[in-house]
Homo-oligomer: A and B are copies of this chain.
Amino acid sequence: MPTPPKTSSSKIIAAARDLIGEPGLDELTMQAVAHRVGVRGPSLYKHFADRAALLREVETAVVADLEAVMIQVPPSLDDLSALRAIAAAYRTFAREHPATYSLIFGLHSGDAAAEQARRRALQPALQRLESYLGNREAAFIRARVLTSFLHGFVSMETAGAFRLGGDIEQAFQAGLALLLCDTARK
């Protein structure tokens, strides 16, 4: 006679869902990196203690790159135009390097250098917001809201999550318009 069932598809699915942990970066293997730079895997360990150490440095470098594109905004622009330009630069960066971008908020390694890079990258936008809103605290809150929108939008966009048609560019501009409306000014 056949062995009695111990489980079921739905039980397996439920267990799988309980099990999901942090997503990794499977493709980034030491050997693949080594091949890219023309050496063998073990040679990398003369440069970095282990894979985690390499990842920490990558994280910091990526954030610095994002800062570099956001900082390109001409100082001559008015605040609102500058904020729009920063947002556009952010989105462009994410679209051009989607997997790389995902490290910025995806690794959360707690690395001090990466954390400092993140803080530094935020600074220009924060200053513009403060000038625009005329209120330091409001600018800080708005920065969080704007960053959330930008991160969510580009994450969905690069993941191909906008699948219902329509003008995606229009949605981006509409979101910016709502979040950059100057309602906090007294």
A interface residues (Cβ-Cβ under 8 A, vs B): 6-9, 11-28, 32-34, 36-39, 43-44, 47-48, 54-55, 57-58, 61-62, 97, 99-100, 102-103, 105-106, 108, 115, 118-119, 140-142, 144-145, 147-153, 155-156, 159-164, 166, 168, 170-171, 174-175, 178-179, 181, 183
9 nearest CB pairs, A to B = A152-B152, A21-B27, A15-B36, A145-B175, A23-B23, A148-B153, A151-B152, A148-B152, A24-B26
Q: Are B156 and A16 in contact (CB under 8 A)?
A: no
> Which of A38, A115, A156: most chain B Cβ within 10 A?
A156
Q: Are B23 and A119 in contact (CB under 8 A)?
A: no
A151 to chain B: which residues have CB within 8 Å? 152, 155-156
A159 to chain B: which residues have CB within 8 Å? 105-106, 108
Cα separation A11 to B6 with both chains bound (whole Å): 52
Q: Are B171 and A21 in contact (CB under 8 A)?
A: no
Q: Are B20 and A27 in contact (CB under 8 A)?
A: yes
> Which of A48, A175, A181: most chain B Cβ within 10 A?
A175
Chain B nearest CB: distance from A104 CB in Å?
Answer: 9
